[in-house]
Structure 1
Amino acid sequence: MNFKYFYLYILVLAFSCSPKTTIQPEDNKVATPVSLMTIGNEEVYADEFLHLLSKNRSFLEKEGTISKADFEENFDLFVNFKLKVKEAENRGLHQTEEFDREFSMFKEDLIKPYLIKNSLQEGELMKAYNRMQEIVKASHILLQFPNNATREDTIAVFRMAQKLKTQAEEGEDFNELALNHSEDPSARENKGNLGYFTALQMVHQFEDAAFGLKVGEISEPILTDYGYHIIKLEDRKPNPGEIRVSHILIRSQSNDPVSEERILRKVSEIYAELQKPESVWEDICAQYSEDQGTKNTGGLLPLIGIGSVIPEFERVAFSLNEIGEISPPAKTPYGYHIIRLEEKRSLPQFEDMEAMIKSKILRDSRSTLIQSQVTSIQKARYQFLENETLVDSLEAFFDKSSRNEAIEKIQKTNLSNRVIFSAGGEERTVQDLFDFMQSSGQVVRVGNRNLMSAWYEKFVETKLNQAEENDLASNNKEYQLTLKEYRDGILLFTLMNENVWQKALEDSLGQVAFYEEHTDRYQWKERVEAIIVKMSKDDFTSSVKRFLADKKYQENLVSRLENTFLNDNPLAFTVDKDVFEMESHPVLSRAIANKAFQEIKANNNTYFVLLGGKIPPGRKKFEETRGKVIQDYQEYLDQSLLETLKSSYIVKVNEEEKNRVYELVTKN
């Protein structure tokens, strides 16, 4: 997260750092709201205070109460927060381009959890993850449509699919039917057997149908972009998760029987060599494997799951049970593999897979399905009314002309100002659609659709999204409060940055003046010159102690010590040489002040200390304490700003409402 936005988040939540509070929701009563306080001419209501106070709190724990003192402290912080926001607004900080840009960015992220699309998307993510708990084995027969298929062609393919389903259910061998009728090219080799797969490895219509079947059951004809499928579920079982294997590959040329026989003898001899107790897998792999990418790394392959590699390899790899177990040679289109099991992992938790699942869903046809569902819900919720006759008329113009020509022709008629649809209480005209087409910056994929249809669909989608956003902003209290929280937080950050933080950093004259006025804050206590040796390895403790025991504090002693021990053993110890305040130092505070050399045990570590000259208490130089001066100067500027604001704005607190809020947050 950008530091600025992290700091902004901390600021907005700053006043909610007191002990946990239990806040009971108010009864859902329709009543005229009563303000908690007024700042200038602006009324501030209790729900905003409660929203911010409840951040990161447990509402249900019995011990989550707040004392009167804590409540008053939080309330004062809230008043200060609102004063600063009020000042930022009066300075016009909410009207700048930078504010608009930052608030829009926050708003885009904040609204996502409240949208219909998000809840549907979350449902699809969880459905996919739940399906991933299983793997299914299925066979299918694919019937495709002829090029430029007519309606009659489509019906004929569907009837043929129904006929094949009936034949299979009446006892004919499904895989023989697939061999004879399926238009999937792989059916010649696998007789329609697709092997095992899990969620997100097939198009979603096929997946839905397969996972909805019982073992042995045959589906109705399922339509996908490839044609009609008849699916038979062969098996289903728990997902074995992921495995990591290594392999030795000997490539083969299946069209040469003599070469094939020689390769088979070679791989058999390699396998026999691996059975010997003295054999080393990595050495044999490096010597014989013909997978140039892995032979020098022990043949190690990435993690694989069901459906992620070719079936011949997968079947053998997942049949291995014990780590280190080696398979007999397995034939695949690439040649012969000897496979060793290296690692087994169960299916990760949903949180670990969520990003991957979401990425796959948004890339496949499920995303279109989700958007279609969103649009349907939005149309019902926001009373979508469409002028279908007008839409048909517009499509006719675009069928006969280019985009610009069609728009120009329509604009010469009386259609431009006619309402094409209404949603969320707002009417949209044909001209609104044209303006959207010319200036929205949207990318629209036309595909097989009419140009007008594609743009009109995107226009409807955009305006329905706006209707949903407007509805949330008007009627969803939680979203309103969250949006206001971040809006005010941006204003607060900007005001504080200009008047406190950045000002304190850049105002060098102000820093010095503040330092001169408060020198009593920047004083050294008694200090001492010291060398502190922290031992890291016990083996050297005695040697280092003997070396230091008869020494006195000297400027060159550290280099002599390091040259003696660290050249050969750089991790034996660490050395710290400086001027320290003994009283506050975690090690020196345990030392005897007048003893030159001493051994000190602290925090399970051994330290050797050499004390030098003492320096009496005195004033710190500005350069020695500049960081602390800037910090104090910032606090001073903050307090000065607050004092100015409190004298500039009249704050009136509704004590009755404030007491009601206090009772609410302390109610068990």
Structure 2
Amino acid sequence: MYKVILALIFLFGAENISFSQSLNSKTLMSIAGEKITVKDFLRVYNKNMDLVQDQSQKNIDDYLKLYINYKLKLKEAKALGYDQKDSYQKEFKNYKEQLLRAYTNDKEVTATLVSEAYDRSINEVKAQHVLVRFESDQDTLAAYKKIKELRSRFVNEDFSSLRLSMHDGKSIFVEDLGYFSAFKMVYNFENAAFKTPVGQTSEPFKTQFGYHVVKVLNKRPSKGKVQVAHIMIANTQKDSTLIPENRIKELYNLLQQGSSFENLAKQYSDDKGSSSRGGVMNAFGSGDISSEIFVDTAFELNEIGALSNPIQTQFGWHILKLISRSPIKPFEEIKMELEQKVKRDARSSIIREKMLEKLMQRYEISQPDLNQFSQQFERNDPESDWVLEDSISQKIFLKIESKIFTIKDFLAFLNKRKRSFKKSTDKNQLIVKQYENFLEDKLFEYKKDNLINENEDYANILKEYEEGLLLFDIMQDKIWNSAKKDSLGLKQYFKDNASKFTSTAKVSGTLVRSNDKNQLNRVQNLWMDGATNEAISDQINSESQLINFINGDFELDNSLLPQNTNFELGISEIYKLDTNYVILNITSLTAAEVLSFEDSRGAVISEYQTVLESDWIKALRIKYKVNIHNKILKKLKASLE
């Protein structure tokens, strides 16, 4: 991506000038037979307007020269086959796929889901649930009946009793989940929890794990993130004489007496994942750690470095030390992060479904009679490929606008996905379901293939990236790397232009700054009396910092120095510099001098590249014919005034 930024430094911004459609469609120029309309030129020119500081480049004639040079370089890149190189094709393809994802998502739905995710990130739900698991090949009706039965008990019975009698950790789970927020649970579960009122139990709902019911115990604002260090003594010890509670109390007493938390954690903590770091854990929020008392204790610590009393969890006994706390960031700061999470989450299926609905409405679709066509597909067993008679393979199966898909296309799709359905699936059901997938795939495929004709913004961005890659590659080969590698040419250019490559004149000594001119008058007088810098500083800065000393070499273009000044050895006058004053005690003056080739190599390469580019452009203008339509250009200039 950085290559395109370098190559398109004058191609970004916002279009801000509009012209009549008649002028926009006129041909402004042609370059080697390629017609360029006023609209094509203005799109780039307008994008450049706010970014270019050089006023000459905002002049239409001067900018036209830059634009023609740009187009000539692209012509040469394509003539030399840069657009056929594997490296170019690969990078352009990757970028195009990224851009397509952005333009084939429903932006309104995405924005709604991102906003919802943020609202759920700044709030937390405390819940318990019952889950009845089932495998993909099991009867889901039995599981549904079971969850309905358990919901009634979940509403009316004590949670501990229900867990004791029903939880087996295999097919039925009765669990206390503590607090959690967005993205901590699968989306269907998160939805049910956040939409169920406090004190209520949801109706049964399905996730990939099975059927659930969830009871919401509380809702509260999120506490953000907290980072702690901890010392843990596990509940179970190999040494039967070691009593965990007694050991943690001993360590707590040592901490109260001033012992190092880090050292004790390294020496005694049974949490080997954090003990080597002095007990420091990764930052966490509610729902990240499966111990409510541990999380609550961490958030109750208010001052950095504060210690908790010993607490016990299902893992062992702990002492916590607060390292840091951070609230939830504002929406705008984490908007992009949330959007990426939404697109990786199950929420992405909602975005795709909404876009699919729009595509179904937008395009003219001629769909097949599945009852008729399903009879044409046969296979010997669930493991073998589907087959059909060759005589019907080229018949039209699906048509999206003018794009035709044959029965053979659908057959290939069926066989590619034949293992994605259970062996017992009814043939007609399978054909219907696979057709739904086929139609969805082909609609999105058609959208992507035609997006460049449907969306002007997408087409322009893609074109800019394509041209930027080409421009970077050819400039790198023809100019940048060519100049660096041409040792003889560089040395000859340096020899012919040595006077251009000089050091900057400089002064050496002491510079004193102050916003009070009177203080610098005192410095001037004390220097004249022979006082040292140290003595002057002690005298003037005895109560507060009134003056600042800077010793060293100062090039004449240094912003600390007054510009366009003829300096002399010794004590200078007092100069006004912005809101401050400066005075110098100059011990030496060094005049500008011609640098050696090695010392000026970077500057020589830069200038030599400019020369090579200028010569190259002259050659391209001879090679490719440029024809400007002056009447149209005159109208364009008038419109811009």
Pair in the same fold by TM > 0.5: yes
Letter matched to residue 469 of structure 1: K
CA–CA distance in 2 between the matches of 1:527 and 1:220?
Answer: 82
Report which stretch shifted further, 245-254 or 502-511: 502-511
Choose which of 603, 606, 609 in structure 2 pairs with 1:634: 609
Partners in 2 of 1:614 and 1:341 — Cα distance?
Answer: 60
Distance change in 2, residues 1:466/1:31 (3 Å): farther
1:488 equivalent to 2:467? Answer: yes
SS of 2:398 mapped into structure 1: strand
Unaligned runs of 5+ in 1: 536-544, 550-572
1:651 maps to 2:627: yes
1:227 to 188, 206, 210: 210
Q: Are the counterparts in 2 of residues 219 and 230 from structure 1 also a CA contact under 8 Å?
A: yes
Distance in 2, matches of 1:259 and 1:395, equals 74
Of 343, 362, 384 in structure 2, the residue corresponding to residue 402 of structure 1 is 384
CA 1:329/1:585 → structure 2, altered by over 3 Å: closer, same or farther?
A: closer
Query: Is the 1:46–1:661 contact (alpha carbons within 8 Å) kept by the matching residues of 2?
Result: no
Cα distance, 1:201 vs. partner? Answer: 1.3
Match of 2:286 in 1: 306
Could you say if the C-alpha distance between residues 662 and 177 of structure 1 is closer, same or farther in structure 2, counting changes exceeding 3 Å?
farther
The 8 Å contact of residues 421 and 428 in structure 1, kept in 2 or not, is answered as yes
Could you tell me which residue of structure 2 aligns to residue 39 of structure 1?
Answer: 31
- Corresponding residue of 2:42: 50
Q: How far did 1:487 drift?
A: 2.2
Residues 80-95 of structure 1: pairs in structure 2 closer than 5 A = 80-95=69-84
Offset at residue 194 of structure 1 (A) = 1.9
Could you say which residue in structure 1 is the equivalent of 2:404? 427
* Residue of structure 1 in register with 2:546 after alignment: none
Shift of the 70–187 alpha-carbon distance from structure 1 to 2, 3 Å rule, reads same
1:205 maps onto 2:188 in alignment: yes
What is the alpha-carbon distance in structure 2 between the residues aligned to residue 50 and residue 465 of structure 1? Answer: 32
CA 1:212/1:657 → structure 2, altered by over 3 Å: closer, same or farther?
farther
Supply the distance in 1 between the matched residues of 2:107 and 2:99 (Cα, whole angstroms): 12
Q: C-alpha distance in 2, partners of 1:141/1:526?
A: 78
CA deviation after TM superposition for structure 1 residue 230, in Å: 1.9
Residue in structure 2 matched with residue 446 of structure 1 by the alignment? 420
Read off the aligned partner of 1:342 and give its amino acid letter: I
Partner of 1:501: 480
Q: Is the alpha carbon distance of 1:662 and 1:332 closer, same or farther for their aligned partners in structure 2, counting shifts above 3 Å?
A: farther
Identity %: 27
Report SS of the residue matched to 1:342: strand
* Aligned partners of 1:141 and 1:184 also within 8 Å: no
The answer as to 2:318 corresponding to 1:337 is yes
Shift of residue 44, structure 1, vs aligned partner: 1.4
Q: Which residue of 2 aligns with 1:114?
A: 103
Q: Deviations over 1:289-339 (max 9, x none)?
A: 333444464422221111111224223323434444433332222211122
Is the 8 Å Cα contact of residues 142 and 184 (structure 1) preserved in structure 2? no
Cα deviation, 1:547-583, whole Å, max 9, x if unaligned, reads xx9xxxxxxxxxxxxxxxxxxxxxxx9988xxx9x87
Name the residue aligned to 1:79. 68
Equivalent position of 1:9 in the other structure: 8
Secondary structure of the residue that 1:195 maps to in structure 2?
A: strand
Cα 1:429–1:206 shift into 2, 3 Å? same
Deviation at 1:474, TM superposition (A): 0.5
Any conservation in 1 of the 2:227–2:324 contact (CA below 8 Å)? yes
| Alignment partner of 1:136 is 2:125 | yes
SS at match of 1:414: helix
Check whether the contact 2:228–2:280 (CA below 8 A) recurs between aligned residues.
yes
Taking the aligned partners of 2:412 and 2:170, their CA distance within structure 1 comes to: 49
- CA drift of 1:205 comes to 0.9
Matched with 1:327 is 308
Query: How big is the shift at 1:346?
Result: 0.5
Change (3 A) 1:58 1:273: same
Give, as a single letter, the amino acid of the residue that structure 1 aligns with 2:470: L
Q: How far is 1:245 from its partner? A: 1.6
Mapped partners of 1:191, 1:629: distance in 2: 75
Contact (CA 8 Å) 1:94, 1:100: kept in 2 or not?
A: yes
Alignment check: 8 A CA contact 1:71 1:662 kept: no
Q: 2:298 aligns with which of 317, 331, 336?
A: 317
Match of 2:395 in 1: 418
When structure 1 is superposed on structure 2, of 642-651 and 654-663 the one drifting more is 654-663
Structure 2 segments unaligned to the other structure (5+ residues): 513-526, 532-549
SS at match of 2:446: helix
SS at match of 1:142: strand
Q: Give the Cα–Cα distance (whole angstroms) in 1 for the partners of residues 475 and 86 of structure 2.
A: 18
Cα 1:448–1:254 shift into 2, 3 Å: farther
Distance 1:285 1:498 in 2: 58
Alpha carbons 2:127, 2:176 under 8 Å: kept: yes
Contact 2:305 2:321 in 1 (8 A): yes
Shift of 1:242: 0.7
Q: Following superposition of structure 1 onto structure 2, how do residues 587-666 of structure 1 map, counting pairs within 5 Å?
A: 625-647=600-622, 648-653=624-629, 655-656=631-632, 659-660=635-636, 663=639
1:538 counterpart residue number: none
Report the more deviating stretch, 133-142 or 324-333. 324-333
**Deviation readout 1:339-373 (Å, 9 max, x if unpaired):** 23332111234566567656655655444454444
Check whether the contact 2:120–2:182 (CA below 8 A) recurs between aligned residues.
yes
The 8 Å contact of residues 363 and 401 in structure 2, kept in 1 or not, is answered as yes
* C-alpha distance after superposition, 1:48-92 (max 9, x if no partner): 333323448779xxxx9x999644433432233233334444555
In structure 2, the residue matched to 1:561 is none
- Give me the whole-angstrom Cα distance separating, in 2, the residues matched to 1:187 and 1:330: 33
2:218 equivalent to 1:244? no
1:97 Cα deviation from its structure 2 partner: 4.3
Shift of residue 480, structure 1, vs aligned partner:
1.5
Match in the other structure for 2:163: 179
1:255 and 1:97 mapped to 2: Cα distance?
62
Q: Deviations over 1:521-568 (max 9, x none)?
A: 53758989x988999xxxxxxxxx9xxx9xxxxxxxxxxxxxxxxxxx
RMSD (Å), alpha carbons = 5.0
Aligned residues, how many? 593
Three-state SS of the structure 1 residue aligned to 2:391 is: coil
Query: 2-side partners of 1:82 and 1:168: how far apart?
Result: 72
